[in-house]
Amino acid sequence: MKTNMKTLVLIGVLFASTLALSSCQKENMNSENAQYASLLDVTADGTTSVIEANLKSAMITTTSLTDGELASLLKMKEEEKLARDVYTALNQKWNNTIFSHISTAESNHLNAIVLLLTTYGADATVGEPGVFANAEFQTLYTKLVADGSAAIEEAYKTGALIEEMDIYDLNQSLSSVTNANVSLVFENLVKGSRNHLRAFNRQLTALGIVYTPVYLSQGDYDLIVNSSMEKGKQYRMNGNGQGDGNGKGQKGNGNQGNGTCVN
């Protein structure tokens, strides 16, 4: 009787161990097969757009926005709209490829901000092109379009000015933002702005013009324009992303899962 009892206990232990091992192997397999992809699509000329499907897949569930985070998002919504609207106007003036491409990218960046605002139930309204509720942005839009319409080199300088302004403001916001989804978007938008700054600087350099930064230090500006275009890092897709924006999707390494199995 005692022998039978010991045998039953042993069988039970072995069965439980098998279940645990199977569960652990399944967890590791799921982690290893997880899809990783970039949120950015970067073309040869530096035009950088957010892959919206990948952004949606990379976002996670978080707490509500703080007042400061909401204010940062609303400000960046206006800045991305400003960039889009100014570049659209300058493209109409100069019929220039760089303004055509980057204005489309800025519209995409604006959509990323709108997605965040919509996700958190905030006001995501975007005004008509060239029209801003904020008087400061309205004045800035009028000035930038006028400056950029004077000559093509002034148009490129206007583009550089807008991008360094975006870089400065995004970096300022990133220093205080704690919401993971807001940080995710801002980190990728600032990469896009650096790429666009490189693109405008390339045009100015081709004309023999040395641009003097306004919002960034000369050292920071030089560091950006003298470095390569940024592709963006890989993020775990929690849903179904579309491609990876310049490279093969990467599998997880088994340590990226939500738990750890010990065999």
Residue 201 has pLDDT above 70, yes or no: yes
Local confidence band at 213 (pLDDT 50, 70, 90 cut-offs): very high
In this predicted model, what pLDDT tens digit does every residue of 173-192 receive, in sequence order? 999 999 999 999 999 999 99
Comparing 185 with 28, which gets the higher pLDDT?
185
Of 168, 158, 171, the C-alpha closest to 200 is 158
The per-residue pLDDT for 23 is: 43
> What is the Cα–Cα distance from 212 to 222, expressed in whole angstroms?
10
Q: Which of 10-19, 38-47, 156-165, 172-181 has the lowest mean pLDDT?
A: 10-19
- Tell me how far apart the alpha carbons of residues 206 and 111 are, in angstroms, rounded to a whole number: 32
d(CA 196, CA 172): 19
CA angle 127, 131, 133 (to 5 degrees): 75
Domain 35-251 - what CATH class? mainly alpha
pLDDT number for residue 36: 93
Give the pLDDT confidence of 110-155 residue by residue, as tens digits: 999 999 999 999 999 998 999 998 999 999 999 999 999 999 999 9
- DSSP-derived letter for residue 130 is T
- According to the model, what pLDDT value does residue 232 have? 83
CA 186 to chain centre: 6
pLDDT mean over 98-120: 97
210 vs 246: which has the higher pLDDT: 210
Q: What is the DSSP string of 162-210?
A: HHHHHHHHHHHHHTT---HHHHHHHHHHHHHHHHHHHHHHHHHHHTTPP
